[in-house]
Structure 1
Amino acid sequence: MNLQLLENMKKNISTHIISRLDLQSFVNVLSAELSGSELNTILLDVFSKRLQQETASSLLNKYARNKLVKPFETDVIKFKEDELSCYKLLASKGFEPVELSPVAQLGTSSVIATVDQKKVLTALRNTEVQADPTNAIALHYAWLKKKRALGKTTCNYSNISRVLRTQAVSNPHFTPHFSVLCLVSCGMDTGSFNFEREELLKQISMSSRICKEVFGIQEMYFEIIPAKGFDSLSSMIADIPAISVVEPDNSNNYYYGFRIKMKIVLNDVVYEIGDGGLLDWTQQLLANKKERMMTMGIGFQVLHQLTR
């Protein structure tokens, strides 16, 4: 089924329920007139009452039907060994490992980024289930910066998280929760695109080393996609080995400046394994146009499955 059609159907179902039960005024009260703590108190009470109707048998039946809660089947020891190898390599090269909470601040994915909140598992107590560690690290950096806990040097962070996303997909092999590795560089504009060039080289170097030294992949390349009129950096990076500058993506509304795609080759098959670029999230959070942020997200779970 067409994914857009499926999303529209879900929206229509919600509209139909609200209309059928004449709940529009009630929905308006919940969404606009209650404070966050008041809404949380009411919803906690609602779910508590609903759960009083559940039995052990009904709980098991619902578990069987819920694709969000099943474990990922893998050799856990080998999986965690790969995680540890990545963290050791990253830490040795200055990318500070960050152990994130399994939940993020509510709105982390949709307020500073362009993700639809309906594709994120919204929770109570003003939180959402972790859907993208780069967003959470942006908040972490901005919070530290605002309370003056950081100096003027660029901060390099790394994280491996199991994230969960709820959007419908057509691929039967898709699992709603999966493990991703992210690199995040945050700092200040130093002029002449120095931040962009230096952090791009760091992240490409680390991504390459992870693939080679942890997963034994030898053939890989990167594509830089200029975005939103940021062509002036192209000549500065086009001469870097294993990087090609491709046609600008004018439809992109997620990254600004440029987007990075990382591709690996295994048995003559090309896999897109990484995606990143420049983001304006720290500029938004700190209201400072001089802030710079670059990310690279790598499909850690996919790499493990392809090579183990």
Structure 2
Amino acid sequence: MEERLLGRVTRAAGVPDLVSVLAERLTPTDLQSLMLAVYAARAGRVAPAELLASYERNRFAGPSPADPRVLAVFDAAAFALLGELGYAGVELSPLSPLGTVGAVTGVSQHKVLTTSRNSEVLADSTNVLALESAARRRDLLRRDPRSRDRVRLCASHRLVRGQFFDRPGTLPHFRLLALTTAGRDEGSFRFETAALTEQLDAHLRLLAEGRREGLLIDRVRVSVTDLSQGVRRDALTSVLDVLAARHPEVAFGFDDEREQGRGYYRDACFFVHATTAGGDELLITDGGFTDWTAQLLSNAKERLLISGAGTERLCIRFAAPG
């Protein structure tokens, strides 16, 4: 379908190799100037009445049904807790460099809202936190090439996804609380074991904090998927044993059937599910190990654990009636 669409566009423009001309022959600055001129001309033809109609039908433009006061209260409690746990809060820009998602993940650019200024609207804040982590780790490595100092970051941000969501009530934009832990390989999976324990503990404490703030969170379940073909099974089991002792009310286990995230994560990944008062079990948190900082720093010794909690889903679906 995409080839047919591009074929029609290039025929209408009268330039058979239009895509390669724009993508390869123009510099980024020239392409940006061209696109700015095109959209300035189009915007100049928009009448106020047409603008309102566009706002009402544009799936990217409508507001969220979430109560901003609830989100603000949860964010304040989350940042206070995460600060105590050693995570530095980062207020991210709404934009990031073109290729922020695709360059290190292989995810299609079609899932990202690309701008006319050679940038993209944030589709996943963990990708930007990976960039910030790599920059901070690079500074540490300049002072000590073997630095094992960990960089723990967190951000609460509204993300925009380009793909179409067909579930009723699902918007292409939503709020996510992201955590990242970056560091260096310490041997024997020590960095990974410590980082995984810390992040899962943080997410479970956040859910407990949500209960104290009035969210009706019933059962919580953590599932870890071993992507190492059993090599890291004992270490992962030890993580679950430690967490089970800290959080006896939470169910822990392995999910060896999980397919989502294979090829995206490495070594291990995890889900955190929570059950509403009405009995609906919902995915709240997704996370796992990636090689993003290793790619960004061209250093195979670098390690990164990422995770994201859907705080908007949490604050809407688990809110008390009224």
Taking the aligned partners of 1:134 and 1:121, their CA distance within structure 2 comes to 16
Taking the aligned partners of 1:109 and 1:193, their CA distance within structure 2 comes to 27
Secondary structure of 2:186 counterpart:
coil
**Residue of structure 1 aligned with 2:23, choices 20, 23, 31:** 31
Counterpart in the other structure of 2:156 = 160
Q: Percent identity at matched positions? A: 28
- Asked if 2 retains the 8 angstrom alpha-carbon contact of 1:185 and 1:293, the reply is yes
CA shift for structure 1 position 261: 1.0
Q: How many residues align?
A: 299
Deviation larger for 262-271 or 181-190: 262-271
- With over 3 angstroms needed to count, the CA separation of the structure-2 counterparts of 1:178 and 1:197, relative to structure 1, is same
Residue 206 (1) aligns with residue 202 (2): yes
Deviation larger for 64-73 or 280-289: 64-73
Residue 88 (1) aligns with residue 90 (2): no
CA shift for structure 1 position 152: 3.5
Taking the aligned partners of 1:24 and 1:38, their CA distance within structure 2 comes to 20
Normalised to the residue count of structure 2, the TM-score between the two structures is 0.87
Taking the aligned partners of 2:136 and 2:149, their CA distance within structure 1 comes to 13
Taking the aligned partners of 2:197 and 2:302, their CA distance within structure 1 comes to 19
Counterpart in the other structure of 2:134 = 142
Q: Structure 1 regions of 5+ residues with no counterpart?
A: 1-8
Normalised to the residue count of structure 1, the TM-score between the two structures is 0.91
Counterpart in the other structure of 1:4 = none
Taking the aligned partners of 1:250 and 1:52, their CA distance within structure 2 comes to 47
Taking the aligned partners of 1:249 and 1:175, their CA distance within structure 2 comes to 25
- Asked if 2 retains the 8 angstrom alpha-carbon contact of 1:215 and 1:303, the reply is no
Taking the aligned partners of 1:256 and 1:136, their CA distance within structure 2 comes to 19
Residue 66 (1) aligns with residue 58 (2): yes
| Cα distance per residue 1:140-175 (max 9 Å; x no partner) | 121233345886411111111100002012202111
CA shift for structure 1 position 126: 2.1
CA shift for structure 1 position 249: 5.2
Q: How does 1:183-194 map to 2 (within 5 A)?
A: 183-194=179-190
- With over 3 angstroms needed to count, the CA separation of the structure-2 counterparts of 1:304 and 1:221, relative to structure 1, is same
- With over 3 angstroms needed to count, the CA separation of the structure-2 counterparts of 1:201 and 1:39, relative to structure 1, is same
| Cα distance per residue 1:180-224 (max 9 Å; x no partner) | 111100000001111110011001100000001123535312111
| Cα distance per residue 1:89-148 (max 9 Å; x no partner) | 111111111110011111111111122101110012221001100000111121233345
Deviation larger for 211-220 or 165-174: 211-220
Residue 276 (1) aligns with residue 287 (2): yes
- Asked if 1 retains the 8 angstrom alpha-carbon contact of 2:71 and 2:311, the reply is no
Counterpart in the other structure of 2:230 = 231
CA shift for structure 1 position 67: 1.2
Residue 286 (1) aligns with residue 297 (2): yes
Taking the aligned partners of 1:72 and 1:265, their CA distance within structure 2 comes to 22
Taking the aligned partners of 1:173 and 1:88, their CA distance within structure 2 comes to 31
Alignment RMSD: 2.0
- Asked if 2 retains the 8 angstrom alpha-carbon contact of 1:215 and 1:307, the reply is no
